[in-house]
Structure 1
Amino acid sequence: MLRSVLPALAIILQCAISTAQTVKTTQGYVKGVEEQGILVFKGIPYASAARFKAPTTRPEWKDTLSCTTFGPVAPQFDGRVVGEEDCLRLNLYTPGVKGKKPVVVWVHGGGMTGGTGMWMNGHAFADHDSIITITINYRLGAFGFLYLGDVPGYETAANNAVLDLIASLQWIQENVAAFGGDPGSVTVMGESAGAKLSSVLLVAPAAKGKYSQLVLESGGVNCIRDVTTAKAIRKRLMDTLGITDPKQLLNLSVNDIITAQAKVLKGASGTNYFGPMADDRIVYSDAYNWLRKHPLKDVRVLLGSNKAEALLFMNIDRRLYHPDLAVLRDWFGKNGDLVQVPADTAGIIQTLSRIMYQLHTYRLANVLAAQKANVWLYSFEQPDHGKPATHGQELGYIWGSNHPLPNPDLQVKIHADWVNFIRGRNPWTKYDSRKIGMIYGEPTRESKISGYEDPDYPAMGFLLD
């Protein structure tokens, strides 16, 4: 009788273990929730954030922390001011706490001033691909990128969002094994501002060893600003607030700072205003030269851009359909003087797409490939109801979509390619001197991607005097 019961008992115990909802982390126990057959831990604090200060290790908690609902978003303007300064949370989706599964870390976009990790559905990779998926919050806008190098004790302020990302990766190194993950197989993946922030890991020495792969969708190191530009953006914010001493920013309300920030941004053109700053300590200047002198042969990078990136922004800021110098300076700062746009709409889309994203993507790919690095380049060109592929349209193919996609077979293909890369496999032919990349569209094929270059355009995408 006992022998007949033991196998069933073993199965019950195994199921109980595989669906255990409490996990011990370095700060204490966390309790998750079962969703769609996997375990999800929402709003885990990965660090503490004091205003304009570098992130610090979260104090230990005594009781089990309930991580069954998403945490607060970073302060931002969404029709009104929302969010909290204590926002450094991550969400973890795991198929089970046993084993050593690859890990993907999603860094959300939103122009460095908006967004949240909860926007992306971690089930897309965790449920069927056995990949632990982590989505993070990081500090945005003035709270993550404001220059305060002249205020003692706040020298890191312009790069605190970079330090937030690195702090999340450190937490993952220390804790992901307890959730069934492999700390030696961590892919950082982002789109738009998320790709830009993630790319900075390449030139941030403190990030070394905390990740093994990057996926950069429509974004690169062109987001790094110089000190002059960072100071100029701070002046705009302080002028809007009516203050003259940067120390006053330490005591203003979140509502006042974010409201003033929204006025400075003035809509879509302000997506370039905030970003990491080259301080040659946390983030190194002239990223391309830094990478030439400091090869990263052990880091694998998958990167690419979309055919008509600019169309999305043109439809948000209609001035871009007929851009004059004032509009171009709004978008590119003093670099706007270098942008020569044709008169026809198709030409404007092509030119702005190149300047916004493609030029910088190809530059980074070429620098990495010249070092014999492991680089894979793509171009997303799948039309959508007769319109060319614009900014962000690849996301539905990678993560799945609630709406029917024009090419469902392509969705299967792209998702599988991303899964293969995250697992450490070669998704297609490596990018090297032959310039071979993957073109997703009609048809999807490997082909030479010649790219675009303008030697007169600087490495930093947005510059101010």
Structure 2
Amino acid sequence: MLRSIFPALVLIFHCTISTAQTVKTTRGYIKGIEEQGIFVFKGIPYASAARFKAPTPRPAWKDTLSCTAFGPIAPQWNGKVVGEEDCLRLNLYTPGLKGKKPVVVWVHGGGMTGGTGMWMNGHAFADHDSIVTITINYRLGALGFLYLKDIPGYETAPNNAVLDLVASLQWIRENVAAFGGDPNKVTVMGESAGAKLSSVLLVTPAAKGKYRQLVLESGGVNCIRDTTTAIAIRQRLMDTLKITDPRQFLTLSVSDIIAAQAKVLKGASGTNYFGPMADDRIVYGDAYNWLKKHPVKNVRVLLGSNKAEALVFMNLDKRLYDEDRQALRDWFGKNGDLVQVPPDTAGKVQTLSRIMYQLHTYRLANVLGAQKANVWLYSFEQPPATHGQELAYIWRSRQALENPALQVTIHRDWVNFIKGKNPWTKYDSRKLGMIYGEPTHEDKIPGYEDPNYPAMGFLLD
């Protein structure tokens, strides 16, 4: 009992003796705190967002804004509806206000329906690595991705979360120098849904010039939806809400929308439902073909996946341990009919891991590598190597202490990449990459491909 209380007492004491720090931004002065020897600014509003509308610049404020506590999270389901619509906030950790330090922007995962930036500890890169670390919130689920293009004035609704990310990068470009960061050395980093959303920046013209590097952990452009799928998901939501006109979404409460969304998602398999949509204005698709015609220039990309990605999802949805066709359709939409799983458990883990993440990671690496772009590929294979396990190693969590040497290695490699260095051999026709495990070593990563599997990972008709 005392062990669990003690860290909280230390935190309270530490915050009590912290000193305030004030910085001028383009919208007004903000006040942060000194925490663990660095300056931290929490809950900075980077944009405003009216319901189902594109983000707009935050109105300026006259008095100094206190940014000493995390702001509200995006509306989401956690056994009940939690969060607030005024959620477009970011948290900034800086070792000092002088100089031009590299900047890393963390985009959280959570199936694009859950999560918050405040759950990742920005001290991991800011305290000892001299990196300005920023974690952001963006709109989730229906509030960030609902198809409303058929309603005048709401054409951006399917991609508002993408525009939220772009708006955060614009705020960073305009303000990060005041916090000791270099606006020309911005790395956007995400895992799972955060990697998927970040990857869309590659096919979002509005993001051009607002970032220099991407780190994509277990996620790629397969998250982009076509119009038919986006409309079908909206229809499922409308059926659950018992409404017949999409304009009724404009008058429903957030609680009603999020509660209905939770019923539509029906658990883990619903993590694939919401995502950006190819409208060929904000987001282009098919992304692979678009990238082939529009080579990525002056952008460095580090990307990879874990060997047993699917294991965590199989434990969440036990149907995946059986040859359950309905389960595969729930997870992959009509693509589920293309997934042929072997009878043994190891074969199922391998096949589902390939279809969920690895196939899409290798496709993107191959497209970028063929353009002689600056690309680095990795495979995380430290047992059990399931989805999200690499995070503890990258972010210096105590969970990774079972292999402290690997934690030191992978964190160092991420730091080097963020600082613009080459962490290992570039990925090209030789298909060399870094394999993290026992032992960690560079080797050929041949990847996996299924030419029959669509570019978009989840399709409905």
Alignment TM class, shorter chain as reference: over 0.9
Identity %: 86
- Tell me the secondary structure at the aligned position of residue 403 of structure 1: helix
Partner of 2:88: 88
Deviation of the 1:20 alpha carbon? 6.6
- Tell me the secondary structure at the aligned position of residue 39 of structure 1: strand
Residue type matched to 1:408 in 2?
P
Report if the CA contact (8 A) 2:147-2:158 is conserved: yes
Q: Distance in 1 between matches of 2:266 and 2:278?
A: 25
Partner of 1:165: 165
Residue type matched to 1:271 in 2?
T
Partner of 1:207: 207
- Correspondences of 1:302-451 after superposition (within 5 Å): 302-383=302-383, 388-451=384-447
Q: Distance in 1 between matches of 2:93 and 2:194?
A: 19
| 1:179-228 Cα distance to aligned partner (Å, 9 max, x none) | 00000000000000000000000000000000000000000000000000
Q: Structure 1's 20 and 96: CA in aligned 2 closer, same or farther, altered over 3 A?
A: farther
Q: Structure 1's 368 and 318: CA in aligned 2 closer, same or farther, altered over 3 A?
A: same
| 1:268-294 Cα distance to aligned partner (Å, 9 max, x none) | 000000000000000001000110011
Report if the CA contact (8 A) 2:392-2:400 is conserved: no
- Tell me the secondary structure at the aligned position of residue 398 of structure 2: coil
Report if the CA contact (8 A) 1:297-1:372 is conserved: no
- Tell me the secondary structure at the aligned position of residue 372 of structure 1: coil
Answering whether residue 140 of structure 2 is matched by residue 140 of structure 1, we say yes
Q: Distance in 2 between matches of 1:327 and 1:316?
A: 12
Q: Distance in 2 between matches of 1:219 and 1:169?
A: 20
Which structure's CA Rg is the greater one?
A: 1
- Tell me the secondary structure at the aligned position of residue 279 of structure 2: coil
| 1:113-132 Cα distance to aligned partner (Å, 9 max, x none) | 00000000000000000000
- Correspondences of 1:106-117 after superposition (within 5 Å): 106-117=106-117
Report if the CA contact (8 A) 2:323-2:343 is conserved: no
Report the RMSD for the aligned CA atoms in angstroms. 0.7
Report if the CA contact (8 A) 1:436-1:447 is conserved: yes
Report if the CA contact (8 A) 1:334-1:463 is conserved: yes
Q: Distance in 2 between matches of 1:368 and 1:213?
A: 13
| 1:205-254 Cα distance to aligned partner (Å, 9 max, x none) | 00000000000000000000000000000000000000001111011111
Structure 2 unaligned residues grouped into runs of 5+: 1-18
Partner of 1:4: none
Structure 1 unaligned residues grouped into runs of 5+: 1-18
Q: Distance in 2 between matches of 1:200 and 1:141?
A: 16
Report if the CA contact (8 A) 1:368-1:375 is conserved: yes
Partner of 1:63: 63
- Correspondences of 1:275-314 after superposition (within 5 Å): 275-314=275-314
Answering whether residue 454 of structure 2 is matched by residue 454 of structure 1, we say no
Partner of 1:5: none
Q: Distance in 2 between matches of 1:405 and 1:380?
A: 16
Q: Distance in 2 between matches of 1:316 and 1:129?
A: 36
Partner of 1:240: 240
- Tell me the secondary structure at the aligned position of residue 170 of structure 2: helix
Q: Structure 1's 404 and 413: CA in aligned 2 closer, same or farther, altered over 3 A?
A: closer
Report if the CA contact (8 A) 1:297-1:371 is conserved: no
Deviation of the 1:404 alpha carbon? 5.0
Residue type matched to 1:402 in 2?
R
Q: Distance in 2 between matches of 1:60 and 1:323?
A: 57
Q: Distance in 2 between matches of 1:452 and 1:285?
A: 22
Residue type matched to 1:460 in 2?
M
Partner of 1:23: 23
Q: Distance in 2 between matches of 1:225 and 1:111?
A: 14
Q: Distance in 1 between matches of 2:241 and 2:297?
A: 46
Partner of 1:12: none
Residue type matched to 1:425 in 2?
K
Report runs of 4+ in structure 1 exceeding 6 Å deviation: none
Residue type matched to 1:197 in 2?
L
Residue type matched to 1:126 in 2?
A
Q: Distance in 2 between matches of 1:405 and 1:389?
A: 15
| TM-score relative to the length of structure 1 | 0.95
- Tell me the secondary structure at the aligned position of residue 401 of structure 2: coil
| TM-score relative to the length of structure 2 | 0.95
